Amino acid sequence: MSTSPSLFSRNLRKSFPVAVRGEGCWIYTADGRRLLDAAGQAAVVSIGHGVAEIGQAMAEQSSRIAFTHTSQFHSEPAEKLAARLLALAPPNFRDGGRVYFTSGGSEATESAIKLARQFHLEQGDGQRYRVVSRRQSYHGSTMGAMTVSGNLARRVAYQPMLAEWGHVAPCYSYRRPAGKSLSEYGLECASDLDLFLDYNDSGSVAAFAFEPVVGATLGAAVPPDGYAQRIAEICRSRGILLIADEVMSGMGRTGKAFAVAHWNVEPDMILTGKGIASGYAPLGAVIVAPHVVEAFERGSAAFQHGFTYQAHPVTTAAGNAVLDYAERHELFERVVAAGDDLKAQLGRLAAHPNVGDVRGLGLLLGVEFVKDKVTREPFPKEDNIAERVRQAVLEENVLVYPTQGCVDGERGDHVLLAPPFTITREESAIIFRALESAVAKVFGAGRSSHS
Ligand code: PLP
């Protein structure tokens, strides 16, 4: 069966299989295939597919009361989940932090942009409105979120409609200049923010947004120690709020509840989504530090923003049920060992002349392909390598998340791996074998200009 022609699909020239069932790391299709979900779809599914108790918790909440509007009521599941997220967040969020629930990651970014602006207004500083971010980043598809996103391919069609608030250097260790140490490179990338602010009206900057581990755009690029700490210092010293976009890297995905905890960084806001409800419900959140909340309390007390479905009782019930399940099965605790195992297996791919880098943290991993391993030269865009690897992996019944453009927005190919936290050693071995076979099919014995 193919998809209904009534659906405005992501690509009208493609046909999509119909998923009918999921169980653990596996998805079953209407045409009888069984596919290993090595990307958790898009780094979403953390507890695995087909956990019936999540739907039961949602049905129970829905049968009691499915919806109330936040202008009139709060709900028990939303209050409970907010408290649990604050407990998972870094220590600075604990005493007086609050959580703003949305229906996904893009809405979380939008909300954080407006929160940052209004935070400064509440303090009597009407000059600050720009949210600076990084090139080679993705923060969502709505207009504010696109404005801060640096992913060129996703921005290009809408360029004339987007404000220019400024983008600074990403931190992409694999492509650091030759001869530069990791720590030198990290500090140099962080200095780019300082330098940018020196020359670009820092008094109008409300916040800086970054992905602590870059997800789709750079394929799990992890900064060296020191980078995130220096970024936090720069923001603090200049009165700029620090927004950590952990829509992909949060909720246990990198081996800590939030990736900033790897570097003991305490942002002013953390954005989350995806794994927060493991795909069982559309849910996102902005976790807000106490001093930001206090500015509102001292000021107007009213955030001029809102969504009909914010803090929805049924989606937050899903979030609680997902956390209950993860806690009972100690799934966050599995991530480090499962990630090390998968990364070690994938590391064997690096012997191939066209596999340039295998990287990542926990179960957020990336494999980058290059034309020349010595010079790290990427393939031409037209070679469509990432998509061809995806297709070849799919022939082995494994799903990965391909992206092009990691080098300069156009060239550069990688696939992202972000399986459910329940992944077993045997399943990781299947992923490795599928990629090994795909690499052999797409590149043969190797197409390096140095080989
Ligand atoms: N921020 C990051 C880092 C993301 O990876 C994504 C989605 O991929 C988003 C924001 C947008 O989230 P959503 O697609 O749920 O709107």
pLDDT digits (tens, 9 = 90+) for 154-183: 899 999 999 999 999 999 999 999 999 999
Q: Is the pLDDT of residue 233 over 90?
A: yes
The pick from 218, 247, 280 for probing ligand 1's pocket by mutation, whose C-beta has the most ligand atoms within 8 angstroms, reads 247
pLDDT at 71: 97
Say how many Å lie between the CA of residue 272 and the centre of ligand 1: 9
pLDDT digits (tens, 9 = 90+) for 72-108: 999 999 999 999 999 999 999 999 999 999 999 999 9
The pick from 154, 213, 248, 403 for probing ligand 1's pocket by mutation, whose C-beta has the most ligand atoms within 8 angstroms, reads 248
pLDDT digits (tens, 9 = 90+) for 363-396: 999 999 999 999 999 999 999 999 999 999 999 9
Q: How many C-beta atoms lie closer than 10 Å to residue 202's C-beta? A: 18
Say how many Å lie between the CA of residue 271 and the centre of ligand 1: 9
C-beta 402 within 6 A of ligand 1: no
Q: Is the pLDDT of residue 1 over 50?
A: no
Q: Is the pLDDT of residue 446 over 80?
A: no
- Cα dist. 204→135, 137, 148, 288 in Å? 19, 22, 15, 21
Q: Is the pLDDT of residue 36 over 90?
A: yes
All structural domains of the chain, each given as residue ranges with its CATH number in brackets, are 19-51+330-443 (3.90.1150.10), 56-328 (3.40.640.10)
**Mean pLDDT calculated for residue range 199-214:** 98
Band of pLDDT at residue 264, cut at 50, 70 and 90: very high
pLDDT digits (tens, 9 = 90+) for 102-148: 999 999 999 999 999 999 999 999 999 999 999 999 999 999 999 99
Rounded CA-CA distance 137/209 in Å is 10
Percent of the chain with pLDDT over 70: 98
Band of pLDDT at residue 447, cut at 50, 70 and 90: low
Mean pLDDT of the chain: 96
Q: What is the maximum alpha-carbon separation in the chain?
A: 68
Is the model's pTM score more than 0.75?
A: yes
pLDDT at 445: 75
Residues 6+ apart with CB under 8 A from 36: 25, 26, 397, 398, 399, 419, 427, 430, 431, 434
- 136 Cα distance to chain centroid: 13
Band of pLDDT at residue 449, cut at 50, 70 and 90: low
**Mean pLDDT calculated for residue range 341-358:** 97
Band of pLDDT at residue 451, cut at 50, 70 and 90: very low
Residue burial 317-355, b: 16+ Cβ < 10 Å; e: rest = bbbbbbbebbeeeebbebbeebbebbbebbeebeebbbb
